[in-house]
Structure 1
Amino acid sequence: MIDGIRLTKAPIRWGMVGGGRGSQIGYVHRSAALRDGYFSLLAGAFDLDPDRGRAFGADLGLDPGRCYPDWQAMFAAEAARADGIRCVTIATPNNTHYPITRAALLAGLHVICEKPLTFTTSEALDLQAIAADRGLVVGVAYGYSGHQMIEEAARLVADGTLGEIRIVNLQFAHGFHSAAVEHDNPAARWRVDPAFAGPSYVLGDLATHPLYVAQVICPHLRIRRLLCTRQSFVSSRAPLEDNATVLMEYEGGAVGTCWTSAVNAGAMHSQKVRIVGSKGSVEWWDEHPNQLRLEIQGEPARVLDRGMTYLHPQSLADDRIGAGHPEGLFDAWANLHCRFALAIEAHEDKDPARLAGLRYPGIEAGVEGVRWVEHCVRSADGGGVWVDYA
């Protein structure tokens, strides 16, 4: 990765729905996708206001004729072009993810979608079936999973360094919404409106990130049942929660906890994943993503640094610069977009062997995130009771 050598044959012709002017996540997607030349942005329906979207596309350097008033027009027009887009990123509010993703798949497009993929498990499974039937890739934007030290944690679990896994401790608890900021901030407002956000706020918006990271580190763990309580400390957000605690029991005896919050006053991100085994523990913190804390019982604690030769080879594969130089969010997202591109090309070439060992948050991760949130809401709304995970 340090050499920047292309791993695919050609850039993927690519479009965007949403992510227009003022959209932080839209800029993250574009920066990551274009970073290594794996994607070429050719079309977009960037805004609900057609004129504003067209002007933004022109500012990005796109052909004005391929800056569309809406996604329906874009899918139809691009399908009629010999050089039409092959993949689309969906960076719109949650309530639109299912219909737009479904339409994109039916139009023969690969999809990279913001999370949550859908509001319900049945919707997510519908998308999974369509993608499988048509041989299309659906990537889900769990961007933090592109950090290399998460791969190192997974290797330490896989090679038995930590022993038998006993405890999974997850946290994503920032303080930026400790007051009703949504009254003056449109970007926050839709996140606390059930019509746009769906059945949850912080469970779906925040907690699914460390949930997926834990699944990458401990892919063998399967949730048996869970219990969730959730609160709306800013009362105007009810019935959506701005704080929640989840207890999980895994098949085989391991246990897990997840605290997620937008009202952890004074905190920045505070996204942490700690995995505890019978021999040792690892902890990763997204505010210091280049380090992984490793603690072996009876030995001094150590901090492992990205890019060092003592790491597993798989943990070095995504390095973009030598050890000691910090890499961050854009690098992690670019790593995922490289993998999305590799998966898309392998599917189009009908070459499943090239998918072996390629880790990326695909449709299965999207389905699992929706399923987890659905179970959490059911448990919380039932009075904070244990519910079987199915």
Structure 2
Amino acid sequence: MINGAKLTAAPIRWAMVGGGQGSQIGYIHRSAALRDNVFQLVAGAFDIDPQRGRDFGTSLGVEPARCYADYQTLFAEEAKRPDGIQAVSIATPNGTHFAICKAALLAGLHVVCEKPLCFTTAEAEELQTLAASRGKIVGVTYGYAGHQLIEQARQMIAAGELGEIRIVNMQFAHGFHSAAVEEANPATRWRVDPKLAGPSYVLGDVGTHPLYLSEVMLPALKVQKLMCSRQSFVASRAPLEDNAFTLMQYHGGAMGFVWSSAVNAGSMHGQKIRVIGSKASLEWWDERPNQLSFEVQGRPAQVLERGMDYLHPAALHDDRIGSGHPEGLFEAWSNLYYRFALAMDASDRDDQAALAAIRYPDIHAGVEGVRWVENCVRSADAGGVWVDYQ
């Protein structure tokens, strides 16, 4: 159980690129990173407007001299300081991720990056190679994977409680963009601009989240081929999709399905994953994150509650407040950030055994997210045909 005890010898000196005034995701990063005293925010390039970024940074308690105009200056100036930053989080539009992440790794920094890492698998693999050569950690913010019942599902599946895995049914289908909200909201507009968002909208923005949950729960399941159909129901978003259906065949014969959508009118969030085996099924819904449905064929359905003693020890390890009290997205993100910190600390100490024991969305998860989107776009643009997974 996480109880605030010291996890590393000292907090990691940390900066942010982006995540400035009005950025919801920036606040989530800071809240998660600072909760367990594993990171200390000491610098940043928070905004494309230097003065606005400096004003915001100082409001967070960062020294004015360490609120920089851009990420290049941030990395160069911090490298000159004996107390310079050790890690950086990237919370900027998609089109900037590759350049900033590469520059950070070249500057000898650990990285936490919003997904997608970049636009192409080739770029993602370049970052993977660079991170390995520099001995640096790259974490990707698949925040929902920090919920403790995702770990519970992983352990139950590994123990064979579901039997042979047959079907993985996934969705992240909300309704908040069922109309052209980007026309009046610049913070949303970049998401439907191919120059800034990349080759897809909802496939990369929401679809990769339940996909990563499936990778956590089912690490041995690998995609063999897929077929994708994508639509732009709000016509002005074309060529980017606001809805997509992806059918996948895994090595070994299991099947998977992902519904990615921003036009599921009336849906608040709509992220669910259901894993179906020959004996039983599991289902988790992020709007009810404290419960995991477990349904054994021929028996009454069960609901497993977070924080209870009957859960696997690996799931209880991420518990923060005991059973009964609800936990949510901030706790899940905090669980990822403390794991990022432990991984960075182990890497800096060259403790490979400790590093291998830490599960977190790493550079490999980032590469696979980009690869999946790239294959989905390739299938959809060829008319929704089956393509071998590359």
TM-score above 0.5, yes or no: yes
CA distance in 1, matches of 2:304, 2:188: 36
1:79-119 CA-partner distances (Å, limit 9, x unpaired): 00000000000000000000000000000000000000010
Describe the SS at the equivalent of 1:47: coil
CA distance in 2, matches of 1:330, 1:200: 27
Q: Which amino acid in the other structure matches residue 340 of structure 2?
A: F
1:191-218 CA-partner distances (Å, limit 9, x unpaired): 0000100000000000000000000000
CA distance in 2, matches of 1:357, 1:50: 41
CA distance in 2, matches of 1:262, 1:356: 36
CA distance in 2, matches of 1:4, 1:75: 31
Match of 1:112 in 2: 112
Match of 1:232 in 2: 232
Q: Which amino acid in the other structure matches residue 6 of structure 1?
A: K
CA distance in 2, matches of 1:358, 1:166: 28
CA distance in 2, matches of 1:311, 1:6: 25
CA distance in 2, matches of 1:224, 1:217: 18
Runs of at least 5 residues in structure 2 that lack an aligned partner in the other structure: none
1:237-264 CA-partner distances (Å, limit 9, x unpaired): 0000000000000000000000010000
CA distance in 2, matches of 1:125, 1:20: 29
Match of 2:131 in 1: 131
Match of 1:44 in 2: 44
CA distance in 1, matches of 2:7, 2:31: 18
Q: Which amino acid in the other structure matches residue 348 of structure 1?
A: D
State the Cα distance separating 1:3 from its structure 2 match: 2.2
CA distance in 2, matches of 1:188, 1:181: 7
Match of 2:373 in 1: 373
State the Cα distance separating 1:355 from its structure 2 match: 1.7
CA distance in 1, matches of 2:156, 2:228: 30
Q: Which amino acid in the other structure matches residue 334 of structure 1?
A: S
Describe the SS at the equivalent of 1:169: strand
1:183 aligns with 2:183: yes
CA distance in 1, matches of 2:6, 2:224: 42
Over aligned residue pairs, what C-alpha RMSD do you find? 0.5
CA distance in 1, matches of 2:186, 2:142: 23
CA distance in 2, matches of 1:322, 1:154: 20
Q: Which amino acid in the other structure matches residue 7 of structure 1?
A: L
Structure 1 length-normalised TM: 0.99
**Following superposition, which runs of at least 4 residues in structure 1 exceed 3 angstroms of deviation?**
none
State the Cα distance separating 1:275 from its structure 2 match: 0.2
Matches within 5 A, 1:175-214: 175-214=175-214
Q: Which amino acid in the other structure matches residue 257 of structure 1?
A: F
State the Cα distance separating 1:9 from its structure 2 match: 1.1
Q: Which amino acid in the other structure matches residue 335 of structure 1?
A: N
Match of 1:278 in 2: 278
1:279-329 CA-partner distances (Å, limit 9, x unpaired): 000000000001000001111001000000111111100101010000010
Structure 2 length-normalised TM: 0.99
Describe the SS at the equivalent of 1:89: strand
Runs of at least 5 residues in structure 1 that lack an aligned partner in the other structure: none
Match of 2:318 in 1: 318
State the Cα distance separating 1:344 from its structure 2 match: 0.2
Matches within 5 A, 1:347-358: 347-358=347-358
Match of 1:167 in 2: 167
CA distance in 2, matches of 1:279, 1:354: 35
Task: Indicate the percent of aligned positions where both proteins have the same amino acid.
Answer: 69
CA distance in 1, matches of 2:106, 2:179: 42
CA distance in 2, matches of 1:378, 1:46: 35
CA distance in 1, matches of 2:357, 2:107: 29
Q: Which amino acid in the other structure matches residue 265 of structure 1?
A: A
Describe the SS at the equivalent of 1:167: strand
Match of 2:21 in 1: 21
Match of 2:297 in 1: 297
Matches within 5 A, 1:322-333: 322-333=322-333
State the Cα distance separating 1:330 from its structure 2 match: 0.5
Match of 1:363 in 2: 363
1:256-280 CA-partner distances (Å, limit 9, x unpaired): 0000100000001000000000000
Match of 2:62 in 1: 62
Match of 1:251 in 2: 251
